Structure 1
Amino acid sequence: MDIATHEGCIAARSRWGKAFREWISPLKKVLITGGAGFIGAWLGRALLDQGVEVVALDDLSTGTWPNPTLGEPEGLTFVRGDCADAALVARLVEGCDFVFHLAAVVGVRRVVESPLRTALVNQATTLSVLEAAAGAGVPVLLASSSEVYGPLATAPFREDDAGSFGPPEQGRWTYALTKAAGEQLAFALGRERGLPFVVVRLFNTVGPGQSAAFGMVLPRFVAQARRGEPITVYGDGEQTRVFCHVADVVDALVALARTPSSWGRLYNVGGVESVSILDLARKVRERLGSDSPIRHVPFVQAFGDDFAEARHRQPDIGRIGQAVGWSPRRGLDRIIDDAIAGADEASPRRELERGEA
């Protein structure tokens, strides 16, 4: 695909030309913001095993250090710090040949409880990272979210669908708005300052090592079923989602980073099997052999009066398939089994040793 057709890459085209289109990025040294988080740690582990030097920046508001996924191998530098610290980020970007910007406020509960913090953190960190990358001429991958599609989009969602948001009284949409603003900033810097970039909208990434602490539904169901507690399903449970194994997501991120002809565009990254949340709870209970009852909890009881739920989330992944040949390889049953097995039995390390990440 000719880079001239890519949105936001007019400046990049004039800067790199034909050589830019044909080059395959070697990824010798990368910066991962949110590098001690769930996805960041999996990504860092995969890149380290490919011989890439990794700098992981994280304020540890949700990430963990020492991180069992990453370990402390040669080639890894961990920096505890704030991604909104422009001077720090600019210093770390220098010497890197790629930036993965994953840092953000995560988890529906955290967003609902503190929409102000969500807005300030997500905007400040994204601005800091993208401006540093633009100043250094370093390509950046920006992790966005399926939340940008909002409550009105019709599944499956395509990247050229219009986004939608609920009213500002509903704090849940703060996260979506900040992610959409970050996307717009990336495209603006691409057009006006020649920033090489790629944006991905992630759909429900799950896998071993993911915490239930921030409202993530699959690890929460697994933890409740293991303890024999009621599995709490919010609302009627008929809302549907797709889940994608974190190892498949890492494959997608690395493929996009290594393929400059894919840059300057927006891509959905997610699974292909849609499941209702109620059926997901039943599957978890069945695969664990648990006798936990399923208890329905009204959204208003769980999140307050102003909460709004998106009924369906399902991506069209045709664009990324055409760009880098990616599609997820792990189905829903495998995803659930790995979530159940946990870090000890189905660790990121074991996945990578199988050559599956």
Structure 2
Amino acid sequence: MRVLITGGAGFIGSHLAESHLERGDDVYIIDDLSTGSMDNIRFLQDNPAYKNRIFVHINTILNHDMMLELTGICDVVYHMAAAVGVQTILDKPLESIVTNIQGTEKILEMCNKFKKRVLIASTSEVYGKHLHAPLVETDNIIYGPSSKFRWSYAASKLMDEFTALAHHRTNGLEVVITRLFNTVGPRQTGAYGMVIPRFVTQALKNEPITVFGDGTQTRTFTYVKDVVSALMKLMASEKATGQVTNVGGIEEISILDLARKIIDMTGSTSTIQLIPYDEAFGKDFEDMQRRVPSTEKLERLTGFAPDKSLDFILSQVIAYIKSK
């Protein structure tokens, strides 16, 4: 099978590419390297077993001719390319909206033209300001005001979902939509506000661990290889066609307790420093107090649900960052 992965040099995309290559598939990657890195996939290119099965294009998904060629060649498409991280959204709001909305429109247009099955990677951020848990796919959406640009990312990804579902209902396009909850693991960088690699890096350097807000906000974290398994199983499941499905972890933890756990696991002498949101991100930021997924639908559709413990996930990230 020939697989196209947009954003394939990114954190999740590179793991997805690796898994498909291990399975024996041909993998085509397009990435503009705005947040991805060749370091994430160079070892795949250098592997003799994959030499003639990985094809990398450094380009934008908005390039019509390039996407026409790649979509026509491949059998299925994973659309992983997107503006990534809170800091990116706040620093480059217009670019982020264009990337997310126009990029997804282009992918869906091409997939519809060639009738190719496509997975759209959405985000748990689309749920907005809910306080209850777990979040289920049919929950209402609750956002803050448009003056808070933090919500532009969530709104743009929700628009991606609407557009994909409209293609499915209007054109019969085989679309699969996944809402990802805080994916973490090796190759992830803290450069775009990703909390675990940032905390681990600070702890290993015995620097103060900077917790934004009061630290009572809670999250679950999903190991990247569990996410890849879920994506591949959803792509293979006919029952997942036209469906929106959560992909998330199993342990809820406050960000303050996460910092304490990382200090303990690294043997760090770091202290914890609380930084107000407006000082860290400016006036355009609001946070979600709680983000915990229901994965019942994922398990019902695929027979699979992520099960890696937070301790396991942290041990993998710590080992990776130490190695770097």
Corresponding residue number in structure 1 for 2:282: 304
Letter in 2 for 1:319: K
Contact kept, 8 Å, 1:203 with 1:269, in 2: the verdict is: yes
- Residue 195 in 1 paired to residue 168 in 2? no
User: How big is the shift at 1:68?
Assistant: 4.5
Contact 1:153 1:163 in 2 (8 A): no
- Show the counterpart of 2:10: 37
1:78 and 2:51 correspond: no
Distance 1:132 1:164 in 2: 31
Q: Do 2:40 and 2:187's aligned partners in 1 also have CA atoms closer than 8 Å? A: no
Q: TM-score normalized by structure 2?
A: 0.96
Which stretch has the larger CA shift, 318-327 or 150-159?
150-159
- In the TM superposition, structure 1's runs of 4+ consecutive aligned residues that sit over 4 Å from their partners are none
Question: Could you say which residue in structure 1 is the equivalent of 2:145?
Answer: 167
Matches within 5 A, 1:74-223: 74=51, 75-152=53-130, 154-223=132-201
* Aligned equivalents of 1:312, 1:192: Cα separation in 2: 35
Change (3 A) 1:256 1:51: same
Matched positions, count: 319
CA distance in 2, matches of 1:225, 1:103: 30
Amino acid at match of 2:26: E
Alpha-carbon deviation of 1:69?
6.7
Q: 1:269 aligns with which of 224, 230, 247?
A: 247
Measure, in 1, the Cα distance between the counterparts of 2:72 and 2:294.
36
Structure 2 Cα separation of the partners of residues 170 and 317 of structure 1: 30
| 2-structure distance, mates of 1:306, 1:194 | 39
Q: What code does the residue aligned with 1:340 have?
A: I
In the TM superposition, 1:283-298 aligns within 5 A as: 283-298=261-276
**Contact 1:45–1:69 (8 Å) recurs in 2:** no
CA distance in 2, matches of 1:134, 1:48: 25
**What SS is found at the alignment partner of 2:73?**
coil
Offset, 1:306: 2.6
Q: Which range is displaced more, 176-185 or 110-119?
A: 110-119
Return the offset for 1:152: 3.1
Task: Find 1:62's aligned residue among 29, 35, 41.
Answer: 35
SS at match of 2:289: coil
The letter for the 2-side match of 1:288 is T
Q: Equivalents in 1 of 2:42, 2:233: separation in Å?
A: 21
Checking the alignment, whether the CA contact within 8 Å between 2:88 and 2:192 is kept in structure 1 is: yes
- C-alpha distance in structure 1 between counterparts of 2:192 and 2:90, whole Å: 11
Any stretches of 5+ residues in structure 1 without a counterpart?
A: 1-27, 348-357
Structure 2 residue runs of 5 or longer lacking an equivalent are none
CA distance in 2, matches of 1:70, 1:333: 27
Q: TM-score, normalised by structure 1?
A: 0.87
The equivalent position to 1:329 in structure 2, one of 307, 311, 317, is 307
In structure 2, what residue type is equivalent to 1:314?
A: V
On the 8 A contact 2:128/2:142 being kept in 1, the answer is yes
What SS is found at the alignment partner of 2:191? coil
Which AA in structure 2 matches 1:233?
Answer: V
1:147–1:70 distance in 2 versus 1, CA, 3 Å:
farther
Which range moves more in the overlay, 111-120 or 223-232?
111-120
Residue aligned with 1:200, SS: strand
Structure 1 residues 237-246 or 149-158, which shifts more? 149-158
Q: Partners of 1:54 and 1:224 in 2: how far apart? A: 35
State the alpha-carbon separation in 2 of the partners of residues 168 and 46 from structure 1: 39
- What is the aligned-residue RMSD (CA, Å)? 1.4
The whole-number CA distance in structure 1 between the counterparts of 2:172 and 2:10 is 29
User: Is residue 234 of structure 2 the alignment partner of residue 256 of structure 1?
Assistant: yes
Q: Deviations over 1:127-178 (max 9, x none)?
A: 0001100110000000000010001352211001111211010000000011
Structure 2 residue 28 is the aligned partner of structure 1 residue 50: no
Identical aligned residues as a percent: 43
What's the CA shift for 1:66? Answer: 4.5
- Render the CA deviation track for 1:176-206: whole Å, top value 9, x for unaligned: 0110000000000011111101000000000
